[in-house]
Structures are given as C-alpha cells and as structure tokens.
Amino acid sequence: GRERERQPETETETEAETEMSERAFVCRDACHERVMLRTSSSRQVKQSVAASLRNLRTDYLDCLLLHSPLPSHEQTLRAWRQMEAHVAAGEARALGLSNQYDAAALERLCEEASVKPSVVQNRFVEEHGRHDVAVRAVCERHGVRYQAFWALTGNRRILQGRAVREVAKAHGASAEQVWLSFVQALGITPLSGTTDPNHMAQDLALPALSAAEVERLRLQHLIG
C-alpha cells in the first residue's frame, strides 16, 4: 500500500532498538530517538526508559511519548510526573502524548503539567470531529506540535474526490502528494510509515499549494 502507518505493539520500539544496537556507527545527532510508553506504573516507566537508553546506546531520548491517556486523569498525570522526572534527569528532552482525542483532557494536562507536551500524535481522520479540530485548537493555543498518522490511509474517500484530483492534475502531482501538502499547510506534521523508496521520494517532493487551493480543500471537506 501507499502507506504503512502503525504504532508499536510493545512498550518500546524494540525493532528499532535492535537495529540501532547493530548499527553503532550511526551518528547520534542524525537520529531522532523516540520511545512510547503504555503504563502508569512509575516502576515500569523507569524500566522502559532504562532499557531504551541501554539498547539504543545513548544517554538521552529525544522524546518520551505516552501511548494513550489512561482511564483517569489522575493516572495519566501520575505517569506524566514520572516522565517529567526523566526530563529533569536529562534522560529525555521532550514529552508527548498519542491517541488523545479529548480536547478538555488535553487542555487540563497542558495546564497542570510542569513539562508541557511538545507533541500530540493522533489519527487524522473524519471520524474524529472534523479531523480532530478541537484537539488541534488546544495544541495551537499551547504551542504543541500536532503530528498526524493515518493521514493517507484514513482518508481514502477524500483522496478519490474531485477536489483533490483536480488540484493534483494542476500540479502534475499525485492525490497523496496534494493531500500531504494540504495537511502541512494546516500546520500539521504528517507521519509516514512507508518503506517504499519511491513513496519516500514523493513525500519529500510535495507541491506548493496556493492559499486558494488550501481553502478550497478545507471547505470542500469541512476541515477546521
């Protein structure tokens, strides 16, 4: 397929860790190392971070992500406090959250956290309230970078629509390229999980859409 977007099945990206361990010659500054956590247990958070630092052969992580909000705000905040401790210790440079579709809950976390979220990673799909418009508004208010996964696979109907196809034809580009360029124009960072070199090259050669084209696509698909 055009895109293979996924989220890790384990607490840390073990496949990436293994590859990095085998490629010790890779320059640290050339890599952005991110670890995703799935627990509210302080002990398990510590263990996951320690294992990642060891396996990746580094003394810090660029970003520590909570895989999803926990059942209660108190549990989420407890996990967040432990993550903040790793920032204070210099073991993580930034914190983030994934699968947070409750704008009020995100607002509360931003207000109560000592270390504010740097990123939110969510599915960018119609099913989440006009492509997550409420959560994106909270991110904008607090200076949080919104990163979108399923930007392509979750929007097949739109990619096949007339508006996207006409803009793509005008630019001599693919529908996927136009859509990713539109997503970027909204201030969103699309995440691509493709392993196809041709698709990677296309993702880095997006057409520059005019303001009128961006507005047309936004209104056509009721995207906030």
- pLDDT value for 20: 38
The reported pLDDT for the residue numbered 37 is: 74
Structure tokens at 183: 């997503």
| CATH at 145 | 3.20.20.100
* Residues 158 and 146 occupy one common structural domain: no
Segments forming the whole domain that contains residue 191: 151-224
Residues 48 and 106 in one domain: yes
- State whether 128 and 185 are in the same domain: no
Same domain, 79 and 132: yes
Q: Which of 99, 132, 150 is the last residue of a domain?
A: 150
- The reported pLDDT for the residue numbered 29 is 61
Q: What is the pLDDT of residue 31?
A: 61
- Residues of the chain with pLDDT below 50 are 1-26, 28
Q: Say what the pLDDT of residue 25 is.
A: 40
Q: What is the chain's percent helix, strand, coil content, to nearest 5?
A: 50, 10, 40
Q: What confidence score (pLDDT) does residue 40 get?
A: 61
Q: Which contiguous run of DSSP H or E holds residue 123?
A: strand 119-123
pTM score = 0.83
Residue 90: count other Cβ atoms within 10 Å of its Cβ. 9
Tell me which of 126, 150, 174 is where a domain ends: 150
pLDDT on residue 45: 87
**Are residues 11 and 116 both part of a single domain?**
yes
Look at the chain and report how many structural domains it folds into.
2
Q: What is the pLDDT of residue 32?
A: 62
Considering the domain architecture, whether residues 42 and 137 belong to the same structural domain is answered as yes
Strand order in the sheet with 63-66: 34-37, 63-66, 95-98, 119-123, 145-149, 189-190
What DSSP designation does 24 have? Answer: T
Closest alpha carbon to 140 in 115, 110, 114: 110
Q: pLDDT tens digits for 103-113?
A: 999 999 999 99
pLDDT tens-digit map of 112-137: 999 999 999 999 998 888 899 999 99
